[in-house]
Chains A and B, each alone.
Chain A
Amino acid sequence: MPLVLDDFSAKQEAGFRFTSRPNCSLSARGRKAVFWTIAAVTLLIATVFAALGYWLTLPFAGLEIGVLAWAFETLGRQSGDFETLTIEEDEVRVERKRGDHQEHFKLNRQWVSLIQVKKQAGGQVRVALRSYGKETELGLFLTDEARSELGVKLQSWLKPGR
């Protein structure tokens, strides 16, 4: 799929916005439904055997459901992940959520420079913003190609860094 940009810039001449997020085809409700369906069937079976005296099926079922819960919990944490870059007048805003970690910061557009590093052997394409000696990476959820494309788009909005 080609890189898709927000049409924000078309509406407001002085603005640019880009949002990326992972592809999740399972909704939060679906996640719960799937998990509890599996857990209920597995625990029901193990409980019946435990009730008959063959209780050692129960810890294995519990362990398995624990791993399953961890897996679905991880998916849940990832499902809300996003990264948004907004350039509006003199302000550059970056909002990012990955798992439990959420960050949000504003930069002065006049002091921000764009860092682009092409793909090298064993490495990835890098696109980053630098301001006051600090860098923040962009395109966390993007492929190398999409990240390169984002870098090209940003060239007309930000001054290049060294």
Chain B
Amino acid sequence: MAHDAAHAHDAGDHGGHHGHPTGIMRWLTTTNHKDIGSLYLWFAGIMFLVAGSMALIIRAELFQPGLQVVNPDFFNQMTTLHGLIMVFGVIMPAWAGFANWQIPLMIGAPDMAFPRMNNWGFWVLPVAGALLIISLFMPGGGVAGGWTMYPPLFIQGGISYDMTIFAVHILGASSIMGSINIITTILNMRAPGMTLMKMPLFVWTWLITAYLLIATVPVLAGAVTMLLTDRNFDTHFFNAAGGGDPVMFQHIFWFFGHPEVYILILPAFGVVSQIIPTFARKPLFGYASMVYATASIAILSFIVWAHHMFTVGMPAAAQLFFMYSTMLIAVPTGVKVFNWVATMWKGSMTFETPMLFSVAFVCLFTIGGFSGLVCAMTPVDIQIHDTYYVVAHFHYVLVSGALFAIIAGVYYWLPKWTGHMYDEKLGKWHFWLSTISMNITFFPMHFLGLAGMPRRYADYALQFAEFNAIASVGAFIFGASQLIFLWVILKAIRGGNKATDQVWEGAEGLEWTVPSPAPYHTFETAPVVK
């Protein structure tokens, strides 16, 4: 009989951690998955405050018709950077943080498969974040062409556009390094007995997300590089003046962009699928169907991209194809929503903060899903394209979807990370304020869009004034309520009631078998999963 030791991967990286370095060098040189997970999460948190502040500038300007706070060009810079940073600097790094912290713990691995690459994957991120923020102070101002980087605007701007393209390259490289690490870790470092169909759903969703990233990031990298060469080297890929095709950029961008939407939301499905069974005290209903639904959503995400661009002109057959394929996504998504509800059905439910955010996720993400179906219908989309209806739709998906799941996950695993229970009372305040204010902010945008208010304008007609004022009030309450979240986290890090190993009565999985806080090294000898 032989001894299976789990820590052999890149074993040299671990030796130095027995009595690991302290201070700034600990964080700069760390190859420990928990340290790197924390770094990702703090980076995402800081960028959330930056991009959230930009959102508040946007809402302050839109509080009343006319121009009061900023000039239109700066307004456009704010909408562009808000989108870019929220997508690439907040949601994606936050999920990478969860992946780093949780995947090794959940599959019984001592660390990620390539710890040094993991370190590089994180430390290039602040460079990209800095490039995006510094671009605001460049001659000509920051990027103002929208987060989708469409030409011709993105071919015409100043140096900040080149900086943004470079930042996107770096962010892509970080995503690739993270994805390769995640795939190799999940597939090669599972504890004995942890078969694929025994993996926690969060691990499954990240495995599929990593596949999506690997398949699509080269497309984005190629697209922005062609923008760069159009800008600086006289190529004409997308420059209509030289015979290029700007609409083709939209096709290429959305070929990456729609899978990107699922890159942002699939890990959210995973987190919610961990939390709901815990607080319903029942196993997840339809585990296998959840896995297959996740894979189906990922596959379908490759054949729906043109629903983002129905108005650019395409044959009726193409419109029909993209309309129906988009609607098809509702089937596996519906399976998921059904399974979450069925898991709660007749469960012994309690409503601690992670569960509250998860229930809100199920309800509000479904609203975002339904408004997505509305947008999927070509004739309807032609009416509401680039209006606030679309803004409402994707904020229901990304705020009450991805962001709420991130918040739920932080509350759920915070005791395991810090060793202390968070302040439940403050958590509930945070939940109610966030949920109510989120709806105050984004629900009126449906009406604004249906009434014809276009997105990405600093000014608007008088008829839109009331709903905009309501949305702005909601946005400021939402922004302020996130400071409660920050305080709850800091409070839990500093102290509080000691968390038990299992933390939650109904929690199941390997991560709950290790002490709270999780030791610096876990599962150096692989556990056996029965």
A103 within 8 A of B: no
Contacts A75-B184, A124-B18 given; indicate if A22 touches B229 (C-beta within 8 A). Answer: no
A36 within 8 A of B: no
Docked complex Cα distance between A31 and B184 (Å): 9
What residues of chain A lie closer than 8 Å to B188, measured between beta carbons? 24-26, 31, 75, 79
What residues of chain B lie closer than 8 Å to A64, measured between beta carbons? 176, 214, 217-218
Contacts A23-B189, A46-B218, A49-B222 given; indicate if A123 touches B7 (C-beta within 8 A). Answer: no
Chain A interface: which size bin? 35 or more
Max chain B CB contacts within 10 Å: which of A52, A60, A146? Answer: A60
- B225 with A146: CB separation less than 8 A: no
Contacts A30-B187, A75-B113, A121-B19 given; indicate if A23 touches B192 (C-beta within 8 A). Answer: yes
Contacts A71-B180, A143-B525 given; indicate if A42 touches B113 (C-beta within 8 A). Answer: no
What residues of chain B lie closer than 8 Å to A21, measured between beta carbons? 2-5, 8
Docked complex Cα distance between A119 and B521 (Å): 15
- A71 with B6: CB separation less than 8 A: no
Closest-by-CB residue of B relative to A139 is: B5
Closest-by-CB residue of A relative to B21 is: A122
Docked complex Cα distance between A46 and B216 (Å): 9
What residues of chain B lie closer than 8 Å to A68, measured between beta carbons? 180, 214
- A54 with B18: CB separation less than 8 A: no
B residues 160-198 near A (Cβ < 8 Å) are 176-177, 180-181, 183-184, 187-192, 194
- A124 with B180: CB separation less than 8 A: no
- A56 with B225: CB separation less than 8 A: yes
A152 within 8 A of B: no
Closest-by-CB residue of B relative to A123 is: B18
9 contacts between A and B (CB under 8 A): A1-B527, A21-B2, A21-B3, A45-B219, A46-B219, A123-B18, A124-B18, A140-B11, A143-B525
Contacts A4-B2, A19-B2 given; indicate if A57 touches B18 (C-beta within 8 A). Answer: no
B493 within 8 A of A: no
Contact code string B202-221 (vs A, CB < 8 Å = 1, else 0): 00000000010011111101
Q: How far is the CB of B228 from chain A (nearest CB, A)?
A: 9
Max chain B CB contacts within 10 Å: which of A3, A7, A38? Answer: A38
Closest-by-CB residue of A relative to B227 is: A56
Since A123-B18, A142-B525 are in contact, a sample of 5 more A-B pairs with Cβ atoms closer than 8 Å, ordered by chain A residue number, is A21-B5, A23-B189, A64-B217, A71-B184, A140-B8
- A67 with B180: CB separation less than 8 A: yes
- B215 with A41: CB separation less than 8 A: yes
What residues of chain B lie closer than 8 Å to A52, measured between beta carbons? 248
What residues of chain B lie closer than 8 Å to A143, measured between beta carbons? 5, 7, 524-525
Docked complex Cα distance between A49 and B505 (Å): 52
Contact code string A58-75 (vs B, CB < 8 Å = 1, else 0): 111101100110011011
What residues of chain A lie closer than 8 Å to B528, measured between beta carbons? 1
What residues of chain A lie closer than 8 Å to B211, measured between beta carbons? 38
- B8 with A22: CB separation less than 8 A: yes
Docked complex Cα distance between A79 and B184 (Å): 12
Identify the A interface with B (CB < 8 A).
Answer: 1, 3-7, 18-26, 30-31, 34, 38, 41-42, 45-46, 49, 52-54, 56-61, 63-64, 67-68, 71-72, 74-75, 78-79, 81-82, 119, 121-124, 140-146
- B214 with A1: CB separation less than 8 A: no
Contacts A25-B194, A64-B176, A78-B8 given; indicate if A145 touches B219 (C-beta within 8 A). Answer: no
Chain B interface: which size bin? 35 or more
B237 within 8 A of A: yes
What residues of chain A lie closer than 8 Å to B114, measured between beta carbons? 71, 74
Q: How far is the CB of B441 from chain A (nearest CB, A)?
A: 37
What residues of chain B lie closer than 8 Å to A63, measured between beta carbons? 218
Docked complex Cα distance between A19 and B218 (Å): 43
Q: How far is the CB of A35 from chain B (nearest CB, A)?
A: 10
What residues of chain B lie closer than 8 Å to A6, measured between beta carbons? 1-2
What residues of chain B lie closer than 8 Å to A23, measured between beta carbons? 4-6, 8, 189, 191-192, 526
- A56 with B222: CB separation less than 8 A: yes
Contacts A20-B5, A25-B190, A78-B9 given; indicate if A42 touches B215 (C-beta within 8 A). Answer: yes
Closest-by-CB residue of B relative to A30 is: B187
What residues of chain B lie closer than 8 Å to A61, measured between beta carbons? 218, 222
B69 within 8 A of A: no
Contact of B3 among A18, A31, A71 (CB under 8 A): A18
What residues of chain B lie closer than 8 Å to A123, measured between beta carbons? 18-19
Contacts A7-B1, A75-B184 given; indicate if A57 touches B218 (C-beta within 8 A). Answer: yes
Closest-by-CB residue of A relative to B114 is: A71
What residues of chain A lie closer than 8 Å to B223, measured between beta carbons? 54, 57
- A146 with B5: CB separation less than 8 A: yes
Q: How far is the CB of A50 from chain B (nearest CB, A)?
A: 9
What residues of chain B lie closer than 8 Å to A1, measured between beta carbons? 3-4, 525-528
Contacts A56-B222, A57-B219, A141-B8 given; indicate if A19 touches B3 (C-beta within 8 A). Answer: yes
- B189 with A67: CB separation less than 8 A: no
Max chain B CB contacts within 10 Å: which of A5, A24, A64? Answer: A64
- B215 with A4: CB separation less than 8 A: no
- A42 with B3: CB separation less than 8 A: no
Contact code string B1-39 (vs A, CB < 8 Å = 1, else 0): 111111111010001001100000000000000000000
Contacts A46-B218, A61-B218 given; indicate if A146 touches B1 (C-beta within 8 A). Answer: no
Docked complex Cα distance between A121 and B211 (Å): 41
The 8 closest A-B pairs by CB, nearest first: A22-B8, A57-B222, A122-B19, A60-B218, A141-B5, A143-B524, A61-B218, A19-B2
